[in-house]
C-alpha cells in the first residue's frame, strides 16, 4: 500500500512526493524500495503488487523500474484501505485463487529483518491452513498515543505467539495508553495483515458486500487496457473505509501475532527522531549549514538551499523544506496533520 501522503511529516513529506518515496533515513534507498526488497524474501517480484494513487505512477516506475505495469494498481481517488485491498484481491484471484496474501504499508521501518521473516512465515503457515485473518501486533515499549492498540486473549495461543484478538482500540489518550502498557495484553497495531484469499473474500462478502460487489461485478477488464476506465467508475461509487474498521474490528476469526522486530511506522517526526543518530545534546540535524546553540532533544531538518541558526530550544521539531517552515514542540506532533489542513484551507494546495 503506497498511496498515503504522510501529512504528519509535513513539510518534508508533500503531496507530490510523500514519505514512502523519500530516503528519509539516509540509507541510499527510499522507504518503498526497502519495503519491496524486504518482501522479495517471501515471494518473487512478479507476485508483488503496488497499490497507489495515479499521481505516483511515474515515481513508482522510477524507483521500482523492474515492476510490471500490471503489478502497479493505480487508484483514481483515495478511498482508504478496504477498496485498496479489494482491488488487489481480484487481480490476484485471476492468477491464483488459492493465494496466501501479505498486505503491508510501504513506509515502515524494520530493523531486525531475520526476526521479521520468521514472524511472517509463521503467519503464512497459519493462514494457509486456517480460515483466519491475521494482523501483526508489536509489543509496546512506551505508552505511544500515535498507534492503535490490539488486546488479545493470552489464554488462547495457537503457537508461535499467535493469539485470538479480543478488541481493537483507535489511538488512545496518554492515560489510556499507560493503562494498556501496564496490562501486558495489548499490542501496537502495525497495519500489516496476512490471510488467504478465500478468507478475506468471505469477510468482504459478510461485512463490506457493497465494496466487494463493485470489484467482482465484471472481472473481464483486469489486466487489460480498459482496467483504468473501469476502476475509475468503481472508485467513484466506492465508500471510503479502512480495512480495520470495515472488517478487522467486526470479524470473529481475527488473530494477532505478538512480535518484536524493531518496528516503526515512521508516522511522525518523533518516530523518525527515535530511529536516527543524535549528537551529545540529543539533537539530530541533517544539514551542515545549520548552527545550533543551547538546544537539546530536538530534530532539525533544513533543506540544503538554506542556512539556519537555532538557539534556545528543547524538545522541538524544526523543519524547513521548499518554502515551508515548521516549528513545533515534539509533544504536539500529532497536531501536524491538523496544521496541514489549515494550510490547505487558508493558503492553497501548493503548500501541502
CATH of the domain at 53: 3.90.550.10
Report the number of distinct structural domains present in the chain. Answer: 2
Q: Tell me the per-residue pLDDT of 247-298, one tens digit each, with 9 for 90 and over.
A: 999 999 999 999 999 999 888 898 899 888 899 999 999 877 899 999 999 9
Structural domain includes residue 306: yes
Q: What is the pLDDT of residue 155?
A: 77
pTM: 0.92
* Residue 168 to residue 243: CA distance in whole angstroms: 12
* Residue 28 to residue 179: CA distance in whole angstroms: 39
Q: Tell me the per-residue pLDDT of 30-62, one tens digit each, with 9 for 90 and over.
A: 999 999 999 998 899 999 999 999 999 999 999
- Looking at the fold, whether 39 and 64 belong to one and the same domain comes out as yes
As a whole number, mean pLDDT of residues 167-179 equals 94
Percent of the chain with pLDDT over 70: 100
- Looking at the fold, whether 78 and 163 belong to one and the same domain comes out as yes
Structural domain includes residue 2: no
Q: Is the peptide bond before 69 cis (omega within 30 degrees of 0)?
A: no
* Residue 32 to residue 178: CA distance in whole angstroms: 32
Residue 139, pLDDT above cutoff 90: yes
Q: What is the pLDDT of residue 154?
A: 83
Q: Where are the alpha helices (DSSP H) in the chain?
A: 31-39, 57-63, 81-95, 113-129, 174-183, 197-207, 209-216, 227-237, 243, 269-275, 336-347
Q: Tell me the per-residue pLDDT of 143-169, one tens digit each, with 9 for 90 and over.
A: 988 899 999 998 777 888 999 999 999
- Looking at the fold, whether 344 and 230 belong to one and the same domain comes out as no
> In the structure, what pLDDT confidence band is assigned to residue 6 with cuts at 50, 70 and 90?
confident
> In the structure, what pLDDT confidence band is assigned to residue 100 with cuts at 50, 70 and 90?
very high
Mean pLDDT of the chain: 94
> In the structure, what pLDDT confidence band is assigned to residue 174 with cuts at 50, 70 and 90?
very high
| 235 neighbors 117 (Cβ within 8 angstroms) | no
| End residue of a domain, out of 214, 243, 267 | 267
- Looking at the fold, whether 186 and 212 belong to one and the same domain comes out as yes
Domain that holds residue 251: 7-267
Q: What is the pLDDT of residue 96?
A: 96
Residue 304, pLDDT above cutoff 90: no
114: its cell numbers: 531475520
With residues binned 3-state (H G I as helix, E B as strand, rest as coil), the percentages for the chain, rounded to 5, are: 40, 25, 35
| End residue of a domain, out of 234, 267, 300 | 267
Q: What is the pLDDT of residue 156?
A: 74
Structural domain includes residue 72: yes
As a whole number, mean pLDDT of residues 126-143 equals 96
Amino acid at each position: 500500500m503506497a498511496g498515503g501522503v504522510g501529512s504528519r511529516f509535513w513539510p518534508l513529506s508533500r503531496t507530490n512526493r510523500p514519505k514512502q518515496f523519500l530516503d528519509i533515513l539516509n540509507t541510499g534507498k527510499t522507504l518503498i524500495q526497502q519495503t519491496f526488497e524486504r518482501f522479495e524474501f517471501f515471494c518473487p517480484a512478479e507476485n508483488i503488487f503496488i497499490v497507489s494513487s495515479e499521481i505516483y505512477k511515474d515515481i513508482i516506475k522510477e524507483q521500482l523500474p523492474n515492476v510490471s505495469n500490471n503489478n502497479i494498481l493505480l487508484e483514481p481517488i483515495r478511498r482508504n484501505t478496504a477498496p485498496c485491498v479489494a482491488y488487489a484481491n481480484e487481480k490476484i484471484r485471476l492468477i491464483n485463487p488459492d493465494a496466501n496474501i501479505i498486505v503491508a504499508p510501504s513506509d515502515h521501518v524494520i530493523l531486525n529483518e531475520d526476526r521479521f521473516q520468521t514472524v511472517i512465515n509463521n503467519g503464512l503457515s497459519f493462514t494457509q491452513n486456517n480460515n483466519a485473518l491475521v494482523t501483526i501486533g508489536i509489543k509496546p515499549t512506551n505508552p505511544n498515543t500515535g498507534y492503535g492498540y490490539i488486546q488479545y486473549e493470552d489464554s488462547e495461543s495457537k503457537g508461535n505467539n499467535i493469539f485470538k484478538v479480543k478488541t481493537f482500540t483507535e489511538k488512545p489518550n496518554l492515560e489510556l495508553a499507560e493503562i494498556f502498557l501496564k496490562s501486558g495484553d495489548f499490542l501496537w497495531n502495525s497495519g500489516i495483515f496476512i490471510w488467504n484469499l478465500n478468507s478475506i473474500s468471505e469477510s468482504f462478502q459478510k461485512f463490506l458486500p457493497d465494496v466487494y460487489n463493485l470489484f467482482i461485478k465484471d472481472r473481464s477488464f483486469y489486466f487489460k487496457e480498459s482496467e483504468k476506465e473501469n476502476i475509475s467508475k468503481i472508485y467513484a461509487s466506492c465508500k471510503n473505509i479502512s480495512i480495520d474498521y470495515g472488517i478487522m474490528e467486526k470479524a470473529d476469526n481475527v488473530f494477532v501475532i505478538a512480535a518484536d522486530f524493531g518496528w516503526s511506522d515512521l508516522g511522525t517526526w518523533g518516530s523518525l527522531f527515535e530511529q536516527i543518530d543524535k549528537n551529545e545534546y540529543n539533537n539530530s540535524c541533517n544539514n551542515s549549514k545549520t548552527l545550533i546553540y543551547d538546544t537539546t532533544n530536538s530534530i532539525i531538518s533544513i533543506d540544503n538551499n538554506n542556512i539556519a541558526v537555532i538557539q534556545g530550544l528543547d524538545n522541538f521539531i524544526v523543519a524547513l523544506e521548499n518554502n515551508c517552515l515548521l516549528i513545533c514542540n515534539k509533544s504536539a506532533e500529532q497536531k501536524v496533520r491538523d496544521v496541514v489542513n489549515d494550510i490547505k484551507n487558508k493558503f492553497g494546495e501548493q503548500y501541502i
